[in-house]
Amino acid sequence: MSSTRTQVGIIGAGPSGLLLSQLLHLQGIDSVVLERRSADYVLGRVRAGVLEQGMVDMLREAQCADRMDKEGLVHEGFEITFGERRHRIDLKKHTGSTVMVYGQTEVTKDLMDAREKMGGTVIYDAENVAIEDLNSDTPKLTYQKDGQTHEVICDYIAGCDGFHGVSRKSMPEKLLKEHERVYPFGWLGILSETRPVSEELIYVNHWRGFALCSMRSMTRSRYYIQCAFDEDLEEWTDDRFWDELRVRLPDEAAETIEMGPSIEKSIAPLRSFVAEPMRHGRLFLAGDAAHIVPPTGAKGLNLAASDIYYLSRALIGFYKEGREDLIDSYSENCLRRVWKAERFSWWFTNIMHRFPEQSSFDRGCQIAELDYLCGSNAAQEAFAENYVGLPF
Ligand code: RFL
Ligand code: PHB
């Protein structure tokens, strides 16, 4: 068995793990990242598309924002439609801030490239990663690769291994409280090499279900429609998808939309989930390992970035100044922001989707909520403030 020593052992090479590793490296703190999949597999997952200003600033701090600053699309607003009504939410006017449309795949690629360029240790295809000696001062990570067992002895461990990872499961069961809401539908998404139907995102509340027009660039569109949570992907041909999307869009958009073959098609379940606390001794949870939001508010990746903000500050404070206060307050600091994003994502999901048991009363309230939002400056300001991201 080979044995190595590092300061921070990181499980997971998604955006959380790579960003943490990069920020620590820039402060002279050593880390090892263990990822169960291959780099190609990680880059093949199509996920988030909207970055809050806080995350954009962190990518700049991490010195991997050059391509984002060149290719990313700055959006000053987006549209909400319901019934025959279309309403633009002006993010810039209400908050002075904007969001950046730049895919998670690209963020991950930029982080991977930066880690490689700076000689970071990221081990892909690491099987059976396990946390041991969590109650000692030197917890360790063990894993297998190419038939050999390895161990990494650490000061701290960052669990950045997503919802299905090992980190959360390694927390003592008695300590951990989990809060969950599962929604009775999913999102069917496609990516296509077509011009986006509009320069800004369009969120659609239609009686047949929610739809979203998003993009990755001015030549690559990302569209979603609400579907049953147990929908069979095989049954969704591209033609069927485009037909259903167009039925839900405002007429003008349905008539002008450019259609083309999908280059990716997948179904995502919708879930709200929070695990607390987010730290036990020398193990920290960050990103999807600790919480999930439904994608409606575009908050998942951004929350992962804010966790990494608090975690990087806590570890840098410890290694540079011997401070432990930020380590002790990590969980509380993260969770205050996490719960606000959970609330926003839950609320926006509730007003935009069709629920199976929805009564005419429920539908009336949903439309009234949208009507109020679109008619009230105060409501739009609160909405915009949450959408662009609450301060860290
Ligand atoms: P990730 O990206 O899941 O990465 C975790 C990594 O850990 C690895 N792993 C392990 N490694 C070693 N050992 C184990 N035992 C392991 N178990 C797992 C995994 O292979 C993986 O590489 O979590 P991270 O880094 O916390 O990042 C979170 C984000 O990926 C997620 O919150 C967002 O994608 C959510 N999300 C969105 N967020 C936004 O902010 N804006 C959006 O517009 C947005 N749209 C979306 C989304 C998520 C979606 N899906 C598919 C769930 C749209 C969709 C459709
Ligand atoms: C995306 O482009 O994938 C996307 C955009 C906005 C959301 C969710 C997903 O709210």
201 and 212 Cβ atoms separated by less than 8 Å? yes
The alpha carbon of residue 42 and the mean position of all alpha carbons in its chain are separated, in whole angstroms, by 14
Q: Which two tokens stand for residue 271?
A: 């879930």
Q: Which of 318, 342, 326, 330 is nearest to 277 (CA)?
A: 330
The DSSP bridge partners found for residue 280 are: 283
pTM: 0.97
- Residue in 102, 183, 309, 387 annotated catalytic: 387
Atom of ligand 1 nearest to the CA of 214: 43
Distance in angstroms between the alpha carbons of the first and the last residue of the chain: 42
- Cα distances from 9 to residues 13, 153, 248, 282, 368, in angstroms, run 12, 8, 47, 10, 50
34 touches ligand 2 (CB under 6 Å):
no
Q: Give the pLDDT score at 244.
A: 98
In degrees and rounded to multiples of 5, residue 48 shows phi and psi of -65, 160
CA dist 254 and 206 (Å) reads 13
Ligand positioned closest to the Cα atom of 160: 1
Query: For residue 11, which of 279, 286, 278, 275 has the smallest C-alpha distance?
Result: 286
For residue range 85-127, what is the model confidence (pLDDT) as tens digits?
999 999 999 999 999 999 999 999 999 999 999 999 999 999 9
Which pair of structure tokens corresponds to residue 229? 């949570």
- 203 tagged catalytic: yes
Beta bridge partners of 131: 141
User: What homologous superfamily is domain 181-270+357-388 in, according to CATH?
Assistant: D-Amino Acid Oxidase, subunit A, domain 2 (3.30.9.10)
User: Which ligand approaches the C-alpha of residue 348 most closely?
Assistant: 2
Q: Is 107 in the pocket of ligand 1 (CB under 6 A)?
A: no
Of all ligands present, the nearest one to the C-alpha of 43 is 1
3-state secondary structure of 387: helix
User: Catalytic: 340?
Assistant: no
Q: Is 49 in the pocket of ligand 2 (CB under 6 A)?
A: yes
Q: Is there an atom of ligand 2 within 6 Å of 222 CB? A: yes
Query: Which is nearest to 337 in space by CA: 314, 298, 378, 304?
Result: 304
- Whole-angstrom Cα distance, residue 355 to residue 352? 10
Place of tokens 């009363």: 361
pLDDT given at position 46: 84
- Ligand 1 atom closest to the Cα of residue 292 is 32
Place of tokens 């935009």: 352
Domain boundaries, the chain: 2-72+101-180+271-348, 181-270+357-388
- Cα separation, 304 vs 287, in Å, equals 4
> Residue ranges of the chain with pLDDT lower than 70?
none
Residue 346, SS3? helix
What CATH number is given for 2-72+101-180+271-348 in this structure?
Answer: 3.50.50.60
CA-based nearest residue to 254, from 120, 67, 42, 84: 84
Ligand 1 pocket: which of 40, 75, 161 to mutate (most atoms within 8 A of CB): 161
Selecting among 156, 203, 309, 319, the annotated active-site residue is 203
User: What confidence score (pLDDT) does residue 83 get?
Assistant: 87
Asked if omega into 294 is within 30° of 0 (cis), the reply is no
Q: Are strands 220-227 and 177-192 parallel, antiparallel or unpaired?
A: antiparallel
CB atoms within 10 A of CB 355: 15
Q: How far is CA 346 from CA 107, 170, 270, 341, 350, in A?
A: 25, 28, 10, 8, 6
Q: Which two tokens stand for residue 166?
A: 């090992």
Q: Which helix (H) or strand (E) holds 327?
A: helix 325-328
* 61 alpha carbon – ligand 1 mean position (Å): 21
Give the whole-angstrom CA distance, residue 188 versus residue 190: 7
Helix (H) or strand (E) holding 287: none
For residue 1, report the distance from its CA to the centre of ligand 1, in Å. Answer: 31
Half-sphere exposure for 316 (CA within 13 Å, toward CB): 15
Residues 118 and 112 sit within 8 Å (Cβ to Cβ): no
